[in-house]
Amino acid sequence: MVIVEMSAVPMLDMTALAAFDNILRDYRTDGIGLILVGTAPRVRLKLRRAGIHREQRQLAYVNNLEQARRKSERWLAGQD
C-alpha cells in the first residue's frame, strides 16, 4: 500500500501521466494499492482523460490522510 499526498500538485504534464501509468501497472502486477490524498479536481480529470481510473484496491482518491488511513485499513482487511 502506497499513500501519496498530492495537495500541492496543481497539474500533471504528459511525462507525469506516463509515469503514473507505469507505476500503476507495476503496482497492479505486484498487488500494491495506491491512494492519492488531496488530489485537485483538475489533476483527477487529467488522470481520467489519460485512462487512469479508480479501481477497487488498486487506485483511490481521498481528501485527507485520515481517510487514507481508513481506506488502507479496509483494503488490507480485504474490504471495500
Quick one: pLDDT at residue 78?
87
Q: Tell me how crowded residue 53 is: count the other CB atoms within 10 A of its CB.
A: 11
**CATH code of the domain occupying 2-76:** 3.30.750.24
Structural domain boundaries in the chain: 2-76
Does residue 80 carry a pLDDT above 90?
no
Secondary structure element (H or E) that encloses residue 22, with its range = helix 14-30
Does residue 64 carry a pLDDT above 80?
yes
The burial of 58, by beta-carbon neighbours within 10 Å (0-12 exposed, 13-18 middle, 19 or more buried), is given as middle
Q: At 75, is the pLDDT very low, low, confident or very high (cuts 50, 70, 90)?
A: very high
Quick one: pLDDT at residue 79?
83
Quick one: pLDDT at residue 27?
95
- Report the alpha-carbon distance of residue 40 to residue 8 in Å, rounded: 9
The predicted-structure confidence for 16-63, as pLDDT tens digits, reads as follows: 999 999 999 999 999 999 999 999 999 999 999 999 999 888 999 999
Quick one: pLDDT at residue 46?
94
